[in-house]
Amino acid sequence: MFDFNIVRKASSDYPKPADFHPSYGTAGFRSKATLLSSTVFRCGLLAASRAILLNSHTGLMITASHNPVDDNGVKMVDPNGGMMPQSFEAVATELANCEDDDAVVAVLRDRVFSPMSSGSPRSAAGGALTVLIGHDTRPSAPSLLAAALAGVRALAVHAHSYGCVTTPQLHFLVHSANQIPAAPLPQLQSYFDVIVGAFLELTKGGELEAAGAGSNSSLLVVDCANGVGAEQLGKLVPALESLGVEMQLRNTGRGGGQLNYQCGADFVQKDRLLPTEMNDVPVGSRCCSVDGDADRLVYFSPLKGGGISLLDGDKVAMLAAVYIRDVMELLPAELLHDIQVCCVQTAYANGAATAYLQNILRLPTVCTPTGVKYLHEAAHNADLGIYFESNGHGTVLFSKTFVERLKAMEDHPAAKELLLLSQLINQTVGDAISGILLIEFILRRKRWTLQDWQALYTDLPSRQLKLQVADRSSITTADAERVCITPAGIQDAITRVISGFTHGRAFVRPSGTEDAVRVYAEAEIQEQADELARLVARIVYDMAGGVGPRP
């Protein structure tokens, strides 16, 4: 049996702040860093518990992704490299909200461990059970790492810190750690060996060296959001240089820039502005932005007179879908028998992207609620599932069945190419580094410029707004967040407003990562999208108890 007295004593060093009520959401727990020590300690307990219950290594990532630098957060990684099951989120929330040490022990004993599973920590595939931990570049990371380590060790489970790594790298390493019985924990280099190795194999022979025509066609300028991506992306520079691609890193954190402040994928995607430190980049250059923990990616090009031409997650999904469709058309028909392909989107996907998928590519589409956990699960239901949220978070998942069929016909060039693609693309979670390599490969394979890519379809103008209300939980939704259920009558009011706009579409939803309500609107021209978003925001403000100035 466990010595819960050790847990109780360790817990006493990490009391929960009064009036703090964390909730495990789309991105795990996330709040002001000063409030999170108890939450992260308890997540250490929970990650250790799941390692024991599953007899496997698990993971913890300490990050708040695209949030401001004063925030932080923590998310749990299961042995397959994926996210903790949604069915366990309520237990995580209950544990995080325990008011005292006795309650922490009670939840662990009664809600996490059953009498059949209680006992001493076992070995994972022949080696010691370990919780793998990573964190981003936030100043609060060291103290929260200490809390996580204390939580893991309170249950006599080993903990291993990889230090400052990207979220996708930590997911990859947890998955790798559970693949080979009794093997040592994987080194970070193994991530690059697999992903960059596949990229180099795909581009072997130099036939892909020429990108699309135009000035600066070999230059890729990367906005690193002053986050952890800068150091990890720097390791790619030699590999890309060998193929004639110059990767120039900006907002690396070394120039005093603040994490995610006026830079990063979230800023670029929502504000449609050049990141700081990039005003000198020539018009038409190939640029991209990652976010603070490098799991999101958008491309863009500076425009004459200011502004950018944005290629967001929708455009990344379409680029991947076009390329994969072209390769799959070269496969023998027997290999594709009963193989299901789909593209997963959320309500945030631009209406023009959905129309392109359905009318031009003729690929099945699925719409899920916002949040990678929903998209990832839906993509896993297909043999080849493509998903990228418009914010740039996504990946392409290959089923075991499809991979085995490809391996059986590995001598076929198209089958070999798709196999290498399944290694190039991080199969555990959305990954900005993997995404950059994917996009650079496809653009060079097709000899496309960003303008060629942009021309696949024209986005409908859109606008996103964020506003505070007295209680964001008063906003509830259905139909993958496309319909607002409460407050009563709010959807009817929104529908009436939408009817006055050509190609109008709008929805509202409570944020999964911030204490706010988000508004999204589309229309035929930008001015109409702006006005529709403003009118819908006013409805939310009036009917859900808005806080601050009325939109």
CATH number for 538: 3.30.310.50
- Based on the domain organization, do 213 and 298 belong to the same domain? yes
- Of 402, 423, 454, which residue is a domain's last? 454
- 443-463 burial string, b = 16+ CB within 10 Å, else e? bbbbebbbeebbebbebbbbb
Residue 214 pLDDT grade (very low, low, confident, very high; cuts 50, 70, 90): very low
* 65 among annotated binding-site residues: yes
- Based on the domain organization, do 170 and 35 belong to the same domain? yes
Residue 513 pLDDT? 67
Tokens of 296: 């999101």
- Based on the domain organization, do 416 and 490 belong to the same domain? no
- Based on the domain organization, do 104 and 28 belong to the same domain? yes
Higher per-residue pLDDT: 207 or 200:
200
Assigned domain for 320 exists: yes
Q: Are β-strands 483-486 and 29-32 bridged in parallel, bridged antiparallel, or unpaired?
A: unpaired
Tokens of 87: 């069915």
- Of 135, 166, 187, which residue is a domain's last? 187
Residue 20 pLDDT? 96
- Based on the domain organization, do 450 and 473 belong to the same domain? no
- Based on the domain organization, do 448 and 382 belong to the same domain? yes
Assigned domain for 548 exists: no
- Based on the domain organization, do 17 and 144 belong to the same domain? yes
Higher per-residue pLDDT: 125 or 183:
183
Tell me how many helices (H) and strands (E) the chain has: 19, 21
Assigned domain for 193 exists: no
Q: Do residues 522 and 351 make contact, with C-beta atoms less than 8 angstroms apart?
A: yes
* 279 among annotated binding-site residues: no
Residue 327 pLDDT? 95
* 50 among annotated binding-site residues: no
- Based on the domain organization, do 366 and 505 belong to the same domain? no
Q: In which domain, by residue range, is 208 found?
A: 200-311
Q: What is the mean pLDDT of residues 37-47?
A: 98
Reported as a single tens digit per residue, the pLDDT across 80-107 is: 999 998 889 999 999 999 999 999 999 9
DSSP at 15: P
* 362 among annotated binding-site residues: no
The string of DSSP codes covering 520-551 is EEE-SSHHHHHHHHHHHHHHHHHHTTB-SS--
- 269-288 burial string, b = 16+ CB within 10 Å, else e? bbebbbbbbbeebeebbbbb
Which residues form the catalytic set? 65
pLDDT above 70: residue 118: no
* 542 among annotated binding-site residues: no
Residue 324 pLDDT grade (very low, low, confident, very high; cuts 50, 70, 90): very high
Residue 180 pLDDT? 85
CATH number for 270: 3.40.120
Reported as a single tens digit per residue, the pLDDT across 144-176 is: 999 999 999 999 999 999 999 999 999 999 999
pLDDT above 80: residue 281: yes
- Based on the domain organization, do 384 and 478 belong to the same domain? no
pLDDT above 70: residue 113: yes
Residue 364 pLDDT? 93
Residue 205 pLDDT? 53
Q: What is the mean pLDDT of residues 352-364?
A: 94
- Based on the domain organization, do 135 and 171 belong to the same domain? yes
Give the span between the Cα atoms of 522 and 505, in whole angstroms. Answer: 5
Q: Which residues, 6+ apart, have CB-to-CB distance to 329 below 8 Å? A: none
Task: Tell me what the pLDDT averaged over the chain comes to.
Answer: 92
Reported as a single tens digit per residue, the pLDDT across 428-456 is: 999 999 999 999 999 989 999 999 999 99
Strand residue runs (E) in 224-282: 246-250
Domains in the chain, number: 4
Sign of CA dihedral 356, 362, 368, 371: negative
* 411 among annotated binding-site residues: no
Tokens of 369: 């609620």
pLDDT above 80: residue 78: yes
Q: Do residues 45 and 108 make contact, with C-beta atoms less than 8 angstroms apart?
A: yes
Residue 126 pLDDT? 47
Residue 543 pLDDT grade (very low, low, confident, very high; cuts 50, 70, 90): very high
* 487 among annotated binding-site residues: no
pLDDT above 80: residue 121: no
Give the span between the Cα atoms of 395 and 391, in whole angstroms. Answer: 12
Assigned domain for 195 exists: no
131 phi and psi, to 5 degrees?
-100, 120
Residue type, 294: A
Instruction: Give the neighbor-by-neighbor strand order of the sheet with 58-62.
Output: 29-32, 71-77, 58-62, 130-135, 158-164
Assigned domain for 480 exists: yes
- Based on the domain organization, do 140 and 15 belong to the same domain? yes
* 511 among annotated binding-site residues: yes
Assigned domain for 385 exists: yes
- Based on the domain organization, do 247 and 266 belong to the same domain? yes
Candidates 492, 461, 533, 481; CA nearest to 374 is: 481
